[in-house]
Amino acid sequence: MLGIEIDNIQIEKLFSFERAWANLPFILEGVPLTLLVAVIGMAIGLVLGFFLALARGSDQKWIRWPARLYISFMRGTPILVYLFVLYFGLPVVGIEFPATVAAIIGFGTNSAAYIAEINRASLNSVSYGQWESARALGFTYWQSIRRIIMPQATRIAIPPLGNVFLDLLKATSLAAMISVPEILNQAQIAAGRTVDSMTMYITAALIYWPLTMIFSFLQDYLEKRYNKYL
């Protein structure tokens, strides 16, 4: 049976504060691109996911089924494979994207599938009486959505949407596989030149952690703000 001698582990070989501090500015250079990919990707996902949710709940089969197929495909395939298709596969047919653009498109269109299901569930959770009241007031379909339904559905959707964004923020580390110079990519470069992978990867993890905490606080703020619609 394989045993591990804890006493022989040298902590300084697991994490070197000096090397972490010396390489921290270099790794932090990846933060802007990490946030860029995550924020723009989420924005694309929110817009596309909203219309996918409406299409998914449409009475018209020619609108509903393409939306269901899109959602099923995106949720059923690994995002890393999709990134490889966008960055390495499409040039075969003459379509080329810069690495950062490919990452934004990949994360945006992939997250839209998950956001669509969240939006659909949130819209369906608003009672049908709200739609009837909007029609009684003479609102059109889009006016009902914007003024009556969306404020109530948004309150319900914020917690799961916040989780999607946090997952997306951490998943941007996969963009390192297509050479996007985000946090993990910078950490990999630092690991190669210092020959201290453990320290550099722990440093990268310690950068992701406060970033997710900041957006968690923002999620809490939005939840409290929309609680007025209870």
Q: Average pLDDT for consecutive 10-residue bins of the chain (230 residues)?
A: 48 78 94 96 95 88 92 94 94 93 96 94 80 77 78 84 94 93 93 90 94 91 73
Q: Assign residue 226 a region: left if phi > 0, alpha if psi is -120 to 50, beta otherwise?
A: alpha
Contact 27, 211 (CB under 8 A): no
Domain 28-229 belongs in CATH node 3.50.50.60: no
Determine the pLDDT at residue 196.
87
Predicted local confidence at residue 5, as pLDDT:
46
d(CA 202, CA 137): 58
Q: Where in the chain are the domains? A: 28-229
145 DSSP 8-state letter: I
- Which residue has 């999607």 as its token pair? 164
pLDDT at position 154 is 81
Q: What is the pLDDT of residue 91?
A: 93
In what helix (H) or strand (E) does residue 36 lie, and over which residues does it extend?
helix 31-56
Give me the half-sphere count of Cα atoms (radius 13 Å) on the Cβ side of residue 200: 19
Stated pTM of the model:
0.86
Q: Give the pLDDT confidence score for residue 194 in this predicted structure.
A: 87
